[in-house]
């Protein structure tokens, strides 16, 4: 039965963990939104509903990183404050041992590890798959939204075009420049039409811009001069392929986007390929991805084991100092994990086993430090 002080510590740590995890999830989501999703919203290519739908589906994949960092920060904040205000000393004086004091923190860390396992092996991969596939095909869902009125569009290689007004798929006052780096002017063709329309051709995966009753100029470079040839047309169409801009319409799952069941199926596919180097490399890479998901889940315990003795010993109540220390510890942990992940192309080094080194080092160091301060 937990005593009053343990219930007090549990509440302190639980709410501190909740706040810090939400903070880091928010920061990570904002970082991704500013880089990928917000520009699509600002240019009118996606709606607000779709924007928030993407951000909500991004949350589980961000929890994988925010959970260990949030619990680490909460541990340093709570224990640092209690140590700085001599509350830990008062608890020891009342007969509580250090193991009893930190039991609520270890309980939440254990629950956090179990939750992280579910996130890393199932919820996270599913959410990032939805997010990436949606980003990959967001323009194709509303391809005509790609062309916006009143701005110069330079997204398609070899072309710049401008439309003054746009009504659904009809456009007015259209200008198009066909670029040519070999031409002295940098332009091969200039077209202008008062009206035109745009269509999406699904078979060729391209936007078709058709200009009606227009005119233009064709430029031909010579050694010392540029020849300009006026042209007129009843209608002309320009194909603007989306594949070079957005990639293939088919979203291919890489190992990092697969949940545990899919990873095990891939691993079993290459289970008896010891003498086939490409297949053996794929087997080790798949095993590495599985082990990395497990390692990132147990990062919660590894970082907590380090944070408990540091939070007690440092005796700092300042939020900024504890936050800097937490970020530094987490970054060093993640850097080691990522560095070992880079060895996936060298299966003979068994990176799927080496990936556990950070957990072993951090947990061993944390237990050693904890045993040292528990003697005082």
For residues 160-174, one letter each, b for 16 or more C-beta atoms within 10 angstroms of the residue's C-beta and e for the rest, the string is: ebbbeebeeeebeeb
Categorize the per-residue pLDDT at 118 as very low, low, confident or very high, splitting at 50, 70 and 90. very high
- Encoded tokens for 359: 């957990």
The Cα 305–Cα 310 span in angstroms is 9
pLDDT at 114 over 90: yes
Q: Chain-centre distance of CA 89, in angstroms? A: 43
- Encoded tokens for 343: 């060895």
Tell me the mean pLDDT in the region 48-69. Answer: 86
Distant-in-sequence, close-in-space partners of 312: CB < 8 Å, separation ≥ 6: 79, 83, 88, 98, 373
The Cα 281–Cα 218 span in angstroms is 54
pLDDT for position 57:
85
pLDDT for position 185:
67
Tell me the mean pLDDT in the region 242-254. Answer: 66
CB atoms within 10 A of CB 307: 29
Categorize the per-residue pLDDT at 1 as very low, low, confident or very high, splitting at 50, 70 and 90. very low
Q: Distances in Å between the alpha carbon of 278 and those of 101, 268, 339?
A: 52, 15, 22
User: N- to C-terminal Cα distance for the chain?
Assistant: 26
Residue found under tokens 């603007």: 240
Q: Where are the domains of the chain?
A: 4-141+253-374, 156-244
Tell me the mean pLDDT in the region 264-291. Answer: 80
The Cα 313–Cα 369 span in angstroms is 10
* Beta-bridge partner residues of 214: 233
Q: For residue 179, which phi and psi values (nearest 5 degrees)? A: -85, 150
The Cα 114–Cα 120 span in angstroms is 10
The Cα 144–Cα 242 span in angstroms is 12
Q: Exposed, middle or buried by CB within 10 Å (0-12, 13-18, 19+), for 369?
A: middle
Count how many Cα atoms sit within 13 Å of the Cα of residue 95 in the half-sphere of its side chain.
Answer: 1
Task: Enter the DSSP assignment of 249.
Answer: S
CB 365 within 8 A of CB 304: no
The Cα 334–Cα 329 span in angstroms is 9
Give the rounded percent of residues in the chain with a pLDDT score beyond 90: 6
Q: What kind of fold does domain 156-244 have according to CATH?
A: SH3 type barrels. (2.30.30)
Categorize the per-residue pLDDT at 356 as very low, low, confident or very high, splitting at 50, 70 and 90. very high
- Encoded tokens for 284: 């080790």
Q: Tell me which of 312 and 52 has the higher pLDDT.
A: 52
3-state secondary structure of 369: helix
pLDDT at 241 over 90: no
**What average pLDDT is seen over the chain?**
81
């Amino acid at each position: 039965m937990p005593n009053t002080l343990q219930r007090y510590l549990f509440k302190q740590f639980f709410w501190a963990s909740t706040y810090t995890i939400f903070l880091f999830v928010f920061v990570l989501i904002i970082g991704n939104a500013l880089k990928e999703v917000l520009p699509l919203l600002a240019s009118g290519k996606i709606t607000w509903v779709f924007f928030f739908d993407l951000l909500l589906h991004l949350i589980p994949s961000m929890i994988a990183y925010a959970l260990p960092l949030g619990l680490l920060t909460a541990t340093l904040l709570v224990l640092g404050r209690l140590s700085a205000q001599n509350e830990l000393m008062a608890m020891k004086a009342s007969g509580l041992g250090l193991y009893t004091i930190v039991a609520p923190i270890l309980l939440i860390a254990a629950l956090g590890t179990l939750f992280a396992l579910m996130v890393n092996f199932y919820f996270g991969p599913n959410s990032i798959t939805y997010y990436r596939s949606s980003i990959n095909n967001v323009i194709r869902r509303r391809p005509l939204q790609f062309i916006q009125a009143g701005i110069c569009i330079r997204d398609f290689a070899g072309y710049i075009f401008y439309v003054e007004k746009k009504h659904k798929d009809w456009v007015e006052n259209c200008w198009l420049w066909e670029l040519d780096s070999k031409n002295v002017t940098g332009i091969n063709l200039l077209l202008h039409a008062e009206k035109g329309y745009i269509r999406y051709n699904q078979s060729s995966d391209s936007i078709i811009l058709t200009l009606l009753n227009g005119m233009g100029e064709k430029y031909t470079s010579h050694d010392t001069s540029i020849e300009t040839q006026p042209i007129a047309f009843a209608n002309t169409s320009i194909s603007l392929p989306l594949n070079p801009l957005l990639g293939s319409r088919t979203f291919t799952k890489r190992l990092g986007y697969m949940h545990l069941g899919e990873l095990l199926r891939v691993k079993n596919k290459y289970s008896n390929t010891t003498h086939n180097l490409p297949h053996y490399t794929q087997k080790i890479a798949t095993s590495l991805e599985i082990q990395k998901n497990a390692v990132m889940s147990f990062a919660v315990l590894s970082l907590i084991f380090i944070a408990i003795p540091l939070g007690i010993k440092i005796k700092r109540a300042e939020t900024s100092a504890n936050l800097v220390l937490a970020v530094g510890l987490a970054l060093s942990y993640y850097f080691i994990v990522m560095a070992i992940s880079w060895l996936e192309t060298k299966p003979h080094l068994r990176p799927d086993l080496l990936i556990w080194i950070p957990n072993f080092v951090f947990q061993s160091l944390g237990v050693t430090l904890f045993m040292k301060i528990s003697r005082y």
